[in-house]
Amino acid sequence: MQNLETHPKSRRPVHQLEIERPDRMEEACGVFAVQALEQPVANLVYFGLYALQHRGQESAGIAVFNDGKVRLHKDMGLVSQVFDQDVLERMPGALAVGHNRYSTTGSSKVCNAQPVVLMTRLGPFALAHNGNLVNAAELRAQVDDGEVEFTSTTDSELIAYAVQQAVDGGLDWTEGIKAAASQCQGAFSLVIGTSDALYGLRDGYGIRPLVYGYLGDQDRGHWVLSSETCGLDIIGSPFVADVEPGELVVFRCGDPTPERHRWIEPTTRICVFEMIYFARPDSRFFGESLYSYRQRIGQILARESAVEADLVIGVPDSGIPAAIGYSQS
């Protein structure tokens, strides 16, 4: 557990971990965040990450805001291995950001676990990222001003430093996040927490999903961000909308109306693997359950490539709905 406090003008990371050169990208991670007035939310984020466990099994982390400070706990392993009730009870706070990590190349170490927490002139923020950048080397050169000490090999940390530098350069949170996003190329669905607001942002292609819902009465302004709708379902949060491609949505504590900003003109190109593999079958995309979608894929395949068989087997488990659809046709 880390109780994170730094001088507001410090550009150094709030925790010191092993420093190594960038050698890894990450893609199908899970991000989750909750904001609720005067209500501990660490347990809710835990359950949200648990529902999103399929999106990342290497590491898990939660950053909780309380009285202007951030408490961060992250480690290697599954959500249930990283957190227990004792840890969660020592993380009070009404706003929290969580992350499950799945990586595709390079080493798997705790220094790469998220969320990333940094300090700015406006206070601390926590960032969780699902996706990977194609211009990580260029972004690293842009943010490395000689004072930055990188503590991970992730492109997520580069995005966090871009946000920090934009805010420390005089922008407010909303404009600073938009400015940082404009430096990024590739796939990035971001959840960012500050002491008084949550921010959800998707790249202009919408490659990775991001949705939001609310807790209790929507008029209370208690908000939830999740990579998939299954994360909302597990804590009883009604789905409101997708964070659209090229959109930044701002959720201020107690405000029942989110602020929606178009930060870049969108060209939707969602990753096909989300629909057929990454996402949980009980999640919903474009208003349809993925189970039904995958089942229809199997039915179409049967019409196009029918074979005589006694048994249809789905491999891996994500192929079971398609196998059922194939067998039914």
Which positions are catalytic? 29
Distances in Å between the Cα of 54 and the Cα atoms of 63, 200, 274, 281 are: 20, 21, 12, 11
Give which of 44, 231, 210, 14 is closest to 115, Cα–Cα: 14
* Cis check: omega of the bond before 316, within 30 degrees of 0: yes
The 3-state DSSP class for residue 156 equals helix
Q: For residues 36 and 78, is the Cβ–Cβ distance under 8 A?
A: no
Phi, psi values for residue 63, rounded to 5°: -115, 125
Q: For residues 204 and 186, is the Cβ–Cβ distance under 8 A?
A: no
Tell me how far apart the alpha carbons of residues 326 and 281 are, in angstroms, rounded to a whole number.
16
